Structures are given as C-alpha cells and as structure tokens.
Structure 1
C-alpha cells in the first residue's frame, strides 16, 4: 500500500514539474496593438523611407505565404526599388505554421539580398543584416539601417502575461 501511494505521489509531482516547465509561448505573449498599428508605431518612432503596404495577393507573390495562414499582418516594402528597407509583422493563426512562415520570411530576405547584390552595395549590406524575430505567434522581419531601433519599438508593443 505504501509503495502505491509513493508511486502515485511521484507521478503527481512529475506531472506538476512537466506542466510547470512547459514552454507554451503562444499563450503568454500578446501584442498591445494590431499588426498594422504596430507597424505604424514603428515607422512613427524610427524614420524610414517611403514604404507601401502589401495587398493580400502581393503577400503570396512577395513572401510566398498564403494570407489565410495569418490572423493579421502588415507588410511594408519600399515604394521605389532603390532601398531595401522592409517591415513585416505576421501573426500566425496556428503555432504549427510558425516554422513555415519563418522559412518563407528568410527566403524573402535572401531574395532581397540577391536583388541588391550587384546593384547597390550599401543596400546589399543593409539587406545582409536583416532581423528575424519570433514572439509567440508573431513573426517580424526588419530590413533597415535602423533595425535595432525598430526591434526595440516592436518589443515594447508586447505584454508579457
């Protein structure tokens, strides 16, 4: 009888330890603002060249991401093809899709690098230093001379629960 109680208590303790140490980031990190307002705030606080918002059909074309995978997003690319600056905030519906979205975003960054490799050396350097950050179900891509400042603003727009 004593062995059964000890095993039962050990099983319960192990279950509590496993549950307490789980790393479910998607439920603990939430943005204070929708993606579009986050991007607005970022460009308001850190000056960027003229950027235009991608439309749903362009998301598939430029990022190879089905907009149906996303809860919300804001993707801003340069209006003129002489800058690499880009901001993409993507809130993924299902956490299982995050690796696919990250992969597509990395491919987009590689495409921008290739595009400027022999075109404008300063913009190529800019594109090489892109930032890719995942917070919960959010994926951020920043290509900018001011990437660190943009990431700092982005990080300030989240509540940690």
Structure 2
C-alpha cells in the first residue's frame, strides 16, 4: 500500500513539474518568427525610448563581460553605456541551438549580477535599476534590459511587437 501511494504521489509531482516546464515558453509551442535582425530591433527600440549614449559590444567584449561564447549566438546586438555612470544596457540575443538556451540565460543573469555589484555602493538609483532588470524570452531570442522602470516597460512592449506566431 505504501509503495502504491508513493508511486501515485511521485507521478503527480512529476506531472506538475513537467507541465510547468512545458508551459514556460510564452508561445505555447507555436513557432516565433521575426523579419528583423537583432541590431534592427535594438535600433528601433532605441529610436522610440531615449537612453544615454550607448556603444555596441564586439565579440571579444561580449565574451569578457557576459562570460559567453558568441559562437552560441546566431545573431546579437548588445549596447551598454559609453561612460560608467549609468547602468542602462540593452541586449537582443538569438541563440543558435535550443540546447544552449539555459547557458545563454545563465550568462545574462551573471551579467546582471556583475552590473549590480558594480553599482552597489556607487550610485543608489542606478543600483536599483540594475536590481530590477528585465529578461524576456521569446522563442530562441532573449531581451535583456537595464533601464528606468518606465523605459524598460516600453522597450519590452516594443520588443514583443517584432514577433509573429506561425
């Protein structure tokens, strides 16, 4: 009897866990498509929401700051402030292989932690922005944004408009 109850409980727990994992994707299994490159997305978002002067990161800098091999990415555009007095950062990353999604997500979270540590005792308002970053997953794309909360919401809403479900 105990063995039967244990197996039933285990089955229920596994069903809940697997169900939660499978519904974690915002598109519920539909293919997500866009006609824009990562750079075009970032350029369009920044044309609508004013940000401080941002510079585009090259592959070596991406590897250094994000602890991420750019070879895992099919396309990306990452912008960060030219001067170290703002935390504003925006990144659109398209992952080549779905098996690398967790690796890329972990790298982005590590970057967010690095920015938080950098501003923890430096500028309180920028530290708050860094703590409240947005990380959005859409298909095999990630959007990472550190900005004023109102600007973040606008950037996320704009990002969502670049995709269609097929």
Q: TM-score range by the shorter chain?
A: 0.7 to 0.9
Match of 1:45 in 2: 48
- TM-score normalized with structure 2 length: 0.81
Instruction: Please state whether the residue corresponding to 2:114 is helix, strand or coil.
Output: helix
Match of 2:154 in 1: 149
Q: Which runs of 5+ in 2 are unaligned?
A: 1-21
Residue of structure 2 aligned with 1:96, choices 80, 94, 99: 99
Residue of structure 2 aligned with 1:123, choices 123, 126, 130: 126
- Answer yes or no: is the 8 Å Cα contact 2:33–2:165 preserved in 1: yes
Match of 2:140 in 1: 137
Number of residue pairs the alignment of both structures matches: 141
Tell me the alpha carbon deviations over residues 25-61 of structure 1, each in whole angstroms, 9 at most, x when there is no partner: 6860122300000000010011111000000111100
- TM-score normalized with structure 1 length: 0.83
Match of 1:14 in 2: none
CA–CA separation in structure 1 for the residues paired with 2:130 and 2:88:
8
Tell me the alpha carbon deviations over residues 65-110 of structure 1, each in whole angstroms, 9 at most, x when there is no partner: 1111100000000000000000011000000100000000000001
Instruction: Please state whether the residue corresponding to 2:94 is helix, strand or coil.
Output: strand
Larger Rg: 1
- Answer yes or no: is the 8 Å Cα contact 1:26–1:137 preserved in 2: no
Q: Which runs of 5+ in 1 are unaligned?
A: 1-20
CA RMSD of aligned residues (A): 1.8
Match of 1:65 in 2: 68
